[in-house]
Structure 1
Amino acid sequence: MRASRLVSLLLLLQNRGRLTAGQLAAELEVSTRTVYRDVDALHAAGIPLYGEAGHAGGYQLLDGYRTRLTGLTGPEAEALALHGLPGPAAELGLTALVEATRLKLEASLPAALRERAQSAAQRFHLDASNWYADGDQSPHLAAVAAAVWEQRRVTIHYRGWEREVERTVEPYGLVLKGGRWYVIAVRAGGTRPATYRVNQIMALAETGETFRRPESFDLAKHWQGQVTEFRARLVTGEATIRLSPAGRERWRVEKATPGDDGWVTAIIPIESIDHACGELLRLGAEVEVLDPPELRDRLADTAKKLAALYA
């Protein structure tokens, strides 16, 4: 652990120039006292590192010094897929590994390209979580991830839509969608992959067995097919609606016919009357349903009940 931290400290100074003990401590998530000890260790190892006291001081490598410790380890190479995803990396317990990978990649770049990479990192950030949720609380996520990496067969107690089941599965891959983790797995002895939401796994046990993941299985391609099928099942009809200017800002439609009053008329796909009613109620008086009659009547009835409740 300490050896990895020393390398990270060295690469931070190589990539960013002068840094204070406080800045290094914040980057490495350790105390400043630990930074002082690590700096002493690097000095003892012959690293040309010096420090200056004062407000503008800090630690810095001698000009021209560059470490050659930039080769990636196996786990670091695997962590490349999570570079730029600090939230998911933390949920998987890989924060330190991903950060070490990033530092090594930056250190291997020429100065001009390293500066451009750092500039891009300061201008683009990906947050995969939803606004109104902190993501899944998945106590078994790390165990599922380990089974995926090491191709280990596991037995899960899973809470499905209708009932709880126990299955022995071979996990092929993990997917993060809208802040929620899913594992794509095949039942032992089967061939058809199924999708399981990780936070619905109530218990997980190792079987002590391994499996061979098919080389032909493409996780991204499989997931895209699942998403396409899911969306096709959702859309069962259409509704014609009118949107106020404020309503159109909140409900984006590709094609709309403008009216003389500033409202627009559009046709939208709907999953069901119940689902559409719930979604359109979020717009309040900024939307009017014209068709189908069942949806218009449902919204009108709900509005009457709300008016009576708050009268």
Structure 2
Amino acid sequence: MRASRLLSLLMLLQTRGRMTAQELAAELEVSVRTVYRDVESLHSAGVPLYGDAGPSGGYRLLDGYRTRLTGLTSGEAQALFLAGMPGPAAELGLGSVVTAAQLKLMAALPVELRDRAGRIRERFHLDTPNWYHGADETPYLAAVADAVWNERRLEIRYRRWKAPQEVLRTLEPYGLVLKAGRWYLIARAGQDLRTYRVSQILELHALPETFERPAGFDLAAHWNGALEEFEARLHQGEAVIRLSPHGMERLPDMARPALLRAAEATARPPGPDGWTQVTVPIESLPNALSEFLRFGVDLEVVSPAELRDLMAETARSLARRYDTAG
């Protein structure tokens, strides 16, 4: 702990220049007396650290003293800061670690790279949750991440969508995936490799025994394959729909990726009324009804007839509900 603090003190001075003992103590969350002792230790280690008295005084490093990172390009330095993602890191319990790592990196960079990399935080912010959805509440995320890292088995009580809704599972956790603000656990349960939504874990116990993660397991490749299989299972049919010009404008924000891709691939030239006909995949009639009703009067179902009739009956029911004349 003390060695890490001494390094942090050194990096603070390299990054910010002159700092008082009080400022250092506040940054390191220690007492001023501890800062004095740490400064003496750095002196003893041969670090050219000097203190100036007076109102404008403070500690500083000898001009030119700097630990440099060699072989790092400007673009690479910028990418490292852009990849920090403090929100997800904090959810994993690594927020302070990311901050400390960025501080050390910033201090070690040459001046010309440090200035360019520092501008990343001023100009770019990564907000991972999707529109219209907040991030999941995940009280067990840090414990799951610890089990993933240490290859330790977990016993969880899990809530799923089908009966029985609450089940007990013993898992071998392989990896975590963040998708649109939601965390998913890829884990082996028995002989099957499954995906669990971390927010649906109701209770968790880390077991004493460990497991051996398969050599060569590619988390990203597994996730992409699972997404493709899930999408294929969902699409049980097709629907032909017409969209108004306003509906086409809203499509990127309102539609699932698979529906959007299909609409772009099958779109006919707009007709005389400006409406565009497309063919899109659907999961089921009730699901399609819910998805298409979001577009209001900007979408018309052409086929299948069962879905068109369902949309029409829903519209009539809504009209009766809001009919103030009766």
TM-score, scaled to structure 1: 0.80
Deviations 1:115-142 (A, max 9, x none): 3322334333322112333312122111
User: Equivalent residue for 2:229?
Assistant: 229
Judged with a 3 Å threshold, the aligned counterparts in structure 2 of structure 1 residues 297 and 23 are, in CA distance, closer, same or farther, namely: farther
**Does residue 178 of the first structure (1) align with residue 159 of the second (2)?**
no
User: Equivalent residue for 1:87?
Assistant: 87
CA distance in 2, matches of 1:199, 1:92: 13
**Does residue 297 of the first structure (1) align with residue 296 of the second (2)?**
no
CA distance in 1, matches of 2:84, 2:249: 30
1:1-311 aligned at under 5 Å gives the runs 4=4, 7-17=7-17, 28=27, 40=36, 43-44=39-40, 45-46=42-43, 47-48=49-50, 61-67=61-67, 83-162=83-162, 163=164, 164-187=166-189, 190-252=190-252, 253-255=263-265, 256=267, 257-311=269-323
Unaligned runs of 5+ in 1: 70-79
Task: Give the stretch that moved more between structures: 200-209 or 16-25.
Answer: 16-25
1:109, CA displacement in angstroms? 2.8
- One-letter amino acid of the counterpart of residue 242, structure 1: R
1:310, CA displacement in angstroms? 1.8
CA distance in 1, matches of 2:290, 2:19: 53
1:38, CA displacement in angstroms? 6.9
CA contact (8 A) 1:237 1:272 kept: yes
CA contact (8 A) 1:48 1:65 kept: no
Judged with a 3 Å threshold, the aligned counterparts in structure 2 of structure 1 residues 25 and 296 are, in CA distance, closer, same or farther, namely: farther
1:248, CA displacement in angstroms? 0.8
Report the secondary structure of 1:221's partner residue: helix
User: Equivalent residue for 2:76?
Assistant: none
Deviations 1:173-215 (A, max 9, x none): 111111111111112xx34311111121111123211111111
- One-letter amino acid of the counterpart of residue 178, structure 1: A
Unaligned runs of 5+ in 2: 44-48, 70-79, 253-262
1:61, CA displacement in angstroms? 4.6
1:16, CA displacement in angstroms? 4.9
CA distance in 1, matches of 2:115, 2:81: 22
Task: Give the stretch that moved more between structures: 14-23 or 116-125.
Answer: 14-23
Judged with a 3 Å threshold, the aligned counterparts in structure 2 of structure 1 residues 16 and 295 are, in CA distance, closer, same or farther, namely: farther
- One-letter amino acid of the counterpart of residue 48, structure 1: Y
Judged with a 3 Å threshold, the aligned counterparts in structure 2 of structure 1 residues 260 and 60 are, in CA distance, closer, same or farther, namely: farther
CA distance in 1, matches of 2:102, 2:154: 32
CA distance in 1, matches of 2:22, 2:304: 63
- One-letter amino acid of the counterpart of residue 269, structure 1: P
CA contact (8 A) 2:50 2:62 kept: yes
CA distance in 2, matches of 1:174, 1:204: 16
1:152, CA displacement in angstroms? 0.8
CA contact (8 A) 2:81 2:117 kept: no
Task: Give the stretch that moved more between structures: 7-16 or 127-136.
Answer: 7-16
CA contact (8 A) 1:50 1:61 kept: no
